[in-house]
Chains A and B, each alone.
Chain A
Amino acid sequence: MRFSQAICFAVLALLLAAAAALAWLARDLPLEPGWARGLLRADGLTALLGACTALIGLAEVAGGRSPARAAAAATLLCVGYLSAHLAGLGVALLGAAILLGGRRAVPIGASLAVAVGLALIALQAGTWRYPVPTAGLGLNSLSFALILLGTLAAAGAAALPSTQPGAPPPPAWPLLAAGCLYALLRLFSLGPWNLGWLYAAMLLGGAMALWAAVRAIASHPREWLGRYYLALGVAGAGLASGAGVALAAFALIALAALRLALSEEPPLAPSADGEPPSAESAGRGLLWLLSGALPFTAPFTAAWAAVAGALAGELSLLAVALWAAALLAALALARAAVGPAGSDPPVAGTPWLRLAAGLSLAAGVGAPALVWLLVEPAVAQLQAGLTPFGELALWPWAGLLALDASRQPVATLPSLALAALMLVLGALAWVVSRLLGSWRDQRHG
């Protein structure tokens, strides 16, 4: 690891710790320091998206070609999240776009669209500060459309219709997309969305997730699955519920784990004697923990929150579409997990792969803790803008429950109970297999 990369890691680790601390401090009430004269504000959403952005930043620093720029962009975005002034967020997004993409049209265009959308809201409301009660008067369809389209553009939606099957897609901008998603979710602070906006976000997010998951099976899972997770985040915003916010959070965590595990570099060529490249170890099997095929992982939790949230909102067709996307996404990484060393997609080195698998496992098994620490405060503070269709409740010492509008359980994910029972069952099965083995040995020997 280079020295500059280590510095970037340290900065992002500090950001992650700060976001966790902020989640604790702003759990009951948002923090608004008096000396900042209303320019700074930190609440649950700031902490939640701050933590997710720091995680994605860590993944970009580990695997990207310009770690310093990625770290600077993640830091700038987190500072932007602290701004109570809509212009502050817009400037942070533009700055991050320039840092990440230089003069490339997509990041600049996406961040500009979001910044203009935020500016239009402020101009129409007559205030630039979003915590002001009258700021919600500025919400309008044009601003919403600009912010939604900017988020989708940063997530790389344009590549879906324009890329030939099998061809490498142009890069997506996950850090920038996380920032745009923050702007989209921040609109809930201004007031409830109208039904058309909700449907637009759900349909565009759901369609993009399904399309990207289909593409991921054929080739380039790193790029297409990245788009799948970002689209899930947009669909989560469209659900406008506690489950939707949780979906956005778990999708971003799963995205960070994916980008940490799969390398941006092209596959290494086999050595002269035909042996697979030694840099890629036998750790490819760890990709199973990132595939979403097992219920103890972050990708599965994201898919579960998507299906449960849609069903709790009585959107069965959306739930089925999101489940189909999740199954296809699982197939894409299942294929990668059994590929020989050196095959496509190239995986990161073993330490990164282990870290990614650990992150996925920790976020999956520890989903109730994450929901308690990060998601619940954000949902409670955005409550005025969210709908009651699809609340995610903690199931004490067991896992998560998705509740419908009448607070009846619709779906259950007892991740902690499953993990505990799996340990018990594993121990039992191991003892039985050892006993059978020794019995066979005695019989034959």
Chain B
Amino acid sequence: MGEALGALGLAWPRLLLYPGGLSALLGAWLLARWLGRNSPTPAASLVDLLPPLLALSLLPLPPARAFPYGLDLPTSLALLLWPWLRALAQSGEIEPGRLRVRAPGGALLLLAMLLLAEGAGAIELSALLRAPTEGWRWALLIAGGLAWIGAVQRLGALRGGDLSVWLGAWGLLLVGALPLLGGLAELLAGRLPEGWAGWLLPPLAALIAALFAGALARLGKRP
């Protein structure tokens, strides 16, 4: 009990500053400007806003202090897709005929999960950051991360809406960037000054993921 309360006490910087809180709001705003070409509108309700904010707060991103109660892929996906799913339902798009358009995105999402699970040997988010010893696992992880970003882009979860949807999109992008972050950390281990990796690599991985999502979005718009 004491351990759990202590852990919750340590969660304040995560909830308020990074990776949740202010940094999440900033990331969502930047993503909305980059992919949606507009600032996000205010969230419709707290019910929509809280789940993605919570998932973002618990992402295993350095340099935030490690949090003992991490998430896994299904739980983080549910929390991050929550506002998008609510918006999708309210727009009346959950009809068998209209859902077929999103079927390739759904299939890609499942493929991404398969690749990530096989690559990491687990579906915990922190496992996606660990450096596997075999090369083929690296390949599966990176392919899984890219497929994840492609899937959420194809599903329309990166097309935006209000702030809560953009927060979810930012979180989904960061989850897809986790294997890339693990790869960069492994690649640059010992080449960066001590303590710099934690500050430099997460923004770099997020930037690469956002550029990749942007490229996919532009490609998708081509006639």
Point out residues on A near B: beta carbons under 8 Å.
217-218, 288, 293-295, 300, 303-304, 307-308, 311, 316-317, 319-320, 323-324, 326-327, 330-332, 334-335, 337-338, 395-399, 404, 408-414, 416-418, 420-422, 424-426, 428-430, 433
CA distance A337 to B85 in the complex (A): 11
Give the distance to chain A from B149, nearest Cβ to Cβ, in Å: 18
Q: Please tell me which one of the listed residues A338, A397, A422 contacts residue B1 in the complex, with CB atoms under 8 A apart.
A: A397
Q: Enumerate 17 A-B pairs (CB-CB under 8 Å) in ascending A order.
A: A218-B96, A293-B81, A294-B51, A303-B74, A308-B74, A324-B106, A338-B90, A410-B122, A412-B71, A417-B4, A417-B8, A421-B8, A422-B50, A425-B20, A425-B57, A428-B16, A429-B46
CA distance A422 to B20 in the complex (A): 12
Given contacts A308-B74, A412-B69, A425-B57, 16 further A-B contacts (CB under 8 A): A320-B114, A323-B74, A331-B99, A334-B86, A335-B94, A338-B89, A395-B69, A411-B73, A413-B72, A413-B75, A414-B69, A424-B11, A425-B53, A426-B46, A428-B15, A433-B46
CA distance A318 to B20 in the complex (A): 33
Check A399 against B3 for contact (C-beta < 8 Å). no
Binary flags per residue of B81-125, CB closer than 8 Å to A gives 1, else 0: 110011011101011100100000010001001100110011110
Check A323 against B110 for contact (C-beta < 8 Å). yes
Q: Please tell me which one of the listed residues B1, B8, B75 contacts residue A304 in the complex, with CB atoms under 8 A apart.
A: B75
Check A307 against B114 for contact (C-beta < 8 Å). no
CB neighbours (8 Å) of B69 from chain A are 395, 398-399, 412, 414, 417-418
CA distance A330 to B88 in the complex (A): 12
CB neighbours (8 Å) of B50 from chain A are 422, 425-426, 429
Check B117 against A319 for contact (C-beta < 8 Å). yes
Give the distance to chain A from B101, nearest Cβ to Cβ, in Å: 13
For chain B, what secondary structure do more than half of its interface residues adopt (helix, strand, loop), or is it mixed? helix
CA distance A410 to B54 in the complex (A): 21
Q: Please tell me which one of the listed residues B73, B78, B99 contacts residue A293 in the complex, with CB atoms under 8 A apart.
A: B78
Nearest chain B residue, comparing its CB with the CB of A326: B74
Which of A319, A409, A421 is packed against the most chain B CB atoms within 10 Å?
A: A421
Within 8 Å of chain A (Cβ to Cβ): is B7?
yes
Which of A397, A409, A412 is packed against the most chain B CB atoms within 10 Å?
A: A412
Known pairs A307-B74, A334-B88, A410-B124; A424 contacts B4 (CB<8 A): no
Which of A324, A326, A335 is packed against the most chain B CB atoms within 10 Å?
A: A335
Known pairs A409-B124, A425-B54; A293 contacts B85 (CB<8 A): yes
Interface size on B, residues (CB 8 A): 49
Check B82 against A414 for contact (C-beta < 8 Å). no
Within 8 Å of chain A (Cβ to Cβ): is B132?
no
Binary flags per residue of B45-77, CB closer than 8 Å to A gives 1, else 0: 010011101100110000000001111111100
CB neighbours (8 Å) of A324 from chain B are 106, 110
CA distance A395 to B3 in the complex (A): 12
Within 8 Å of chain A (Cβ to Cβ): is B79?
yes
Q: Please tell me which one of the listed residues A320, A395, A416, A430 contacts residue B110 in the complex, with CB atoms under 8 A apart.
A: A320
Check A337 against B78 for contact (C-beta < 8 Å). no
Check A421 against B78 for contact (C-beta < 8 Å). no
Q: Please tell me which one of the listed residues A398, A412, A420, A421 contacts residue B75 in the complex, with CB atoms under 8 A apart.
A: A412
Check B46 against A331 for contact (C-beta < 8 Å). no
CA distance A334 to B54 in the complex (A): 21
Q: Please tell me which one of the listed residues B3, B70, B124 contacts residue A397 in the complex, with CB atoms under 8 A apart.
A: B3
Nearest chain B residue, comparing its CB with the CB of A303: B74
Nearest chain A residue, comparing its CB with the CB of B93: A335
Check A331 against B123 for contact (C-beta < 8 Å). no
Check B4 against A396 for contact (C-beta < 8 Å). yes
Give the distance to chain B from A410, nearest Cβ to Cβ, in Å: 5
Give the distance to chain A from B7, nearest Cβ to Cβ, in Å: 7
Check A311 against B122 for contact (C-beta < 8 Å). yes
CB neighbours (8 Å) of A331 from chain B are 85, 94, 99
10 residue pairs, one from A and one from B, having the closest CB atoms: A397-B4, A414-B69, A335-B94, A417-B69, A334-B89, A411-B72, A338-B89, A410-B122, A218-B96, A398-B69
Known pairs A331-B94, A397-B4, A417-B7; A411 contacts B54 (CB<8 A): no
Check A420 against B8 for contact (C-beta < 8 Å). yes
CA distance A308 to B53 in the complex (A): 24
Give the distance to chain B from A432, nearest Cβ to Cβ, in Å: 10
Known pairs A338-B90, A422-B54; A295 contacts B75 (CB<8 A): yes
Give the distance to chain B from A407, nearest Cβ to Cβ, in Å: 12
Check B4 against A429 for contact (C-beta < 8 Å). no
Check A311 against B94 for contact (C-beta < 8 Å). no
CB neighbours (8 Å) of B123 from chain A are 307-308, 311, 410-411
Check A430 against B46 for contact (C-beta < 8 Å). yes
CA distance A295 to B75 in the complex (A): 6
Check A414 against B71 for contact (C-beta < 8 Å). yes
Nearest chain B residue, comparing its CB with the CB of A337: B89
CB neighbours (8 Å) of B89 from chain A are 334-335, 337-338
Nearest chain B residue, comparing its CB with the CB of A215: B96
Q: Please tell me which one of the listed residues A294, A337, A421 contacts residue B82 in the complex, with CB atoms under 8 A apart.
A: A294
Check B4 against A398 for contact (C-beta < 8 Å). yes
